[in-house]
Amino acid sequence: MKAVVFDDERTIRKVMEKILKKEGIEVKTYESGEEALKIVKELKPDIVFLDISLPDADGMELLRSIVSLENRPYVVMISGHDEYNYLIEAMKLGAFDYIPKPFDIDKIRKVVAEIREILSVKTVSDLGEADIIGKSQVMKEVFKIVGRASASNQPVLITGESGTGKEVIAKLIHKYSNRSDKPFIAINCGAIPSGLIEAELFGYEKGAFTGADRSRQGKFQAADGGTIFLDEISELPLEAQTKLLRVLQEMEITPVGSTKSVKVDVRVIAATNKNLVKLIAEDKFREDLFYRLSVIEINLPPLRERKEDIPELVELFTKQALKNHGLKKGGFTEEAVELLKMYDFPGNIRELRNLVHKLIAIYRERPITPDLIKLQFEPEKQVILDWKEGLKKEVAELFSKGKKNIYTRLVEEAEKVVIEEILKYTKGNISEASKYLGIHRNTVHKKVEELNIQKGKGR
Ligand SMILES: Nc1ncnc2c1ncn2[C@@H]1O[C@H](COP(=O)(O)OP(=O)(O)OP(=O)(O)O)[C@@H](O)[C@H]1O
Ligand SMILES: [Mg+2]
């Protein structure tokens, strides 16, 4: 481990150096804070001990800049002030700890031990490869396309329901591309007022509109050499769509209020949970832009179509949640995971993630059993779960009795229920029922006879 100390008091520097060296830590001390940021960037220490009131720098400002570095070290503030407002402010800015002067040597040792422990544990919180789950066949297909997409510069369109991982996949393509050391800039087209979107994407010149008191770079320029992720692309106003199309064709942008265009080299990845083809038919999305964006298309399957990924996702989210709460034990029983596999998760991975985090927050180290999960579901969802559970029990019973025709028996029973119920709604009208069921009229007719279905009198 490496540490740096910024403190203008000579004795503090000496003491710190001694303690840290004894702990086996490589240490450098500095009297001045002027070059602190530069030093931290160069030396890449694991820990920074920082005096709040250096004569030539503002410790709080330094803290702010150090914690915003990409590979940020743990910053421990040392301070002569012990008023609570300094303490709150420093912790809020992201200090790891705050040690008032004159300090106790044991406090320093304790903080070092804590950081050592954290560094020795592999973290799961930041998006590393181990944090992306996808053993299911459908996800393997997705990863193949990600691989192909990473090797090219063509635009990619990622479609999929909300919470299926569109942003995760966009980042993955960037990570594996030869642009990975350049920026990945994400912009949510739905979150920016339509009047500002062009300025946001392409930048603007001073005086381009009221309030533009200086010129500003847009996201395309910020992403130069890298990747821009246009999330919720369906929300892009038509005018901006026209401009985007031109950018994709020419690979140059014209800031708002400017007449000069600027060359850019940006890989575009767009995402949507809407049906763009439908929006094209409604004249809300440009067809030519759609073709341009969807040179490579990735459709992320909903979680209900890859339930085999649920156990690993639960494991991953459990680990994250336990870590967030500083818990050593806890998690789902096997039966609980089985129950989760029965549920369809309309909110997809995000819903599963939130559910796991919520349950761990409530039950902490207590094993999470099916009944605890059910408490989280609304009554309508409970019925669905109970129904599938009931079916499982039925399977178990038939199996234990050694029955041989389990499949036909249960499928027929299910068919009978479905057809009978729909016929009740259509008051026994077979043609109409066939439309709702999505099977041919003749088939419905045949089933009614075969399965001895009552052609209900209506509800
Ligand atoms: N394959 C995966 N493995 C692990 N976690 C995942 C995976 N895919 C998505 N997640 C997690 O699920 C959550 C939702 O993912 P993401 O934000 O990428 O979805 P999205 O499709 O962009 O959703 P929305 O349409 O709502 O914006 C995030 O917390 C993400 O980390
Ligand atoms: Mg998203």
What's residue 264's pLDDT?
A: 95
Per-residue three-class SS string for the chain: CEEEEECCCHHHHHHHHHHHHHCCCEEEEECCCCCHHHHHHHHCCCEEEEECEECCEEHHHHHHHHHCCCCCCEEEEEECCCCHHHHHHHHHHCCCEEEECCCCHHHHHHHHHHHHHHHHCCCCCCCCHHHCCCCCHHHHHHHHHHHHHHCCCCCEEEEECCCCCHHHHHHHHHHHCCCCCCCEEEEECCCCCCCCHHHHHHCECCCCCCCCCCCECCHHHHCCCCEEEEECHHHCCHHHHHHHHHHHHHCEECCECCCCCEECCCEEEEEECCCHHHHHHCCCCCHHHHHHHCCEEEEECCHHHCHHHHHHHHHHHHHHHHHHCCCCCCEECHHHHHHHHHCCCCCHHHHHHHHHHHHHHHHCCCEECHHHHHCCCCHHHHHHHHHHHHHHHHHHHHHHCCCCCHHHHHHHHHHHHHHHHHHHHCCCCHHHHHHHHCCCHHHHHHHHHHCCCCCCCCC
What's residue 129's pLDDT?
A: 54
Ligand 1 centroid from CA 102, angstroms: 47
| One-letter amino acid for residue 42 of the chain | E
Under CATH, what is the fold of the domain 305-400? Helicase, Ruva Protein; domain 3 (1.10.8)
What's residue 397's pLDDT?
A: 87
What's residue 328's pLDDT?
A: 80
Counting ligands in written order, which one lies closest to the CA of residue 158? 1
What's residue 130's pLDDT?
A: 60
What's residue 165's pLDDT?
A: 96
Ligand 1 atom closest to Cα of residue 167: 18
Counting ligands in written order, which one lies closest to the CA of residue 161? 1
- pTM for the full predicted model: 0.62
Ligand 2 centroid from CA 191, angstroms: 12
Ligand 1 centroid from CA 66, angstroms: 29
Ligand 1 atom closest to Cα of residue 132: 3
Ligand 1 atom closest to Cα of residue 134: 1
CATH 3.30.70.260 for domain 130-301: no
Q: Domain 2-120: which CATH class?
A: alpha beta
Ligand 1 within 6 A of 168 CB?
yes
Ligand 1 within 6 A of 187 CB?
no
Counting ligands in written order, which one lies closest to the CA of residue 133? 1
> Domain boundaries in the chain?
2-120, 130-301, 305-400, 406-450
Closest residue by Cα to atom 9, ligand 1, is 165
CA atoms of 43 and 2, how far apart (whole Å): 8
In CATH, the architecture of 406-450 is Orthogonal Bundle (1.10)
What's residue 124's pLDDT?
A: 29
What's residue 127's pLDDT?
A: 45
CATH topology match: 2-120 vs 130-301: yes
Residues 25 and 76: beta-carbon distance below 8 Å:
no
Ligand 2 centroid from CA 190, angstroms: 11
- pLDDT per 10-residue tile (average), the chain, 459 residues: 94 94 94 93 95 90 90 89 79 86 88 82 44 88 90 95 96 92 92 88 89 88 95 94 94 92 96 96 96 96 95 94 86 91 92 95 88 81 71 87 89 91 90 92 92 73
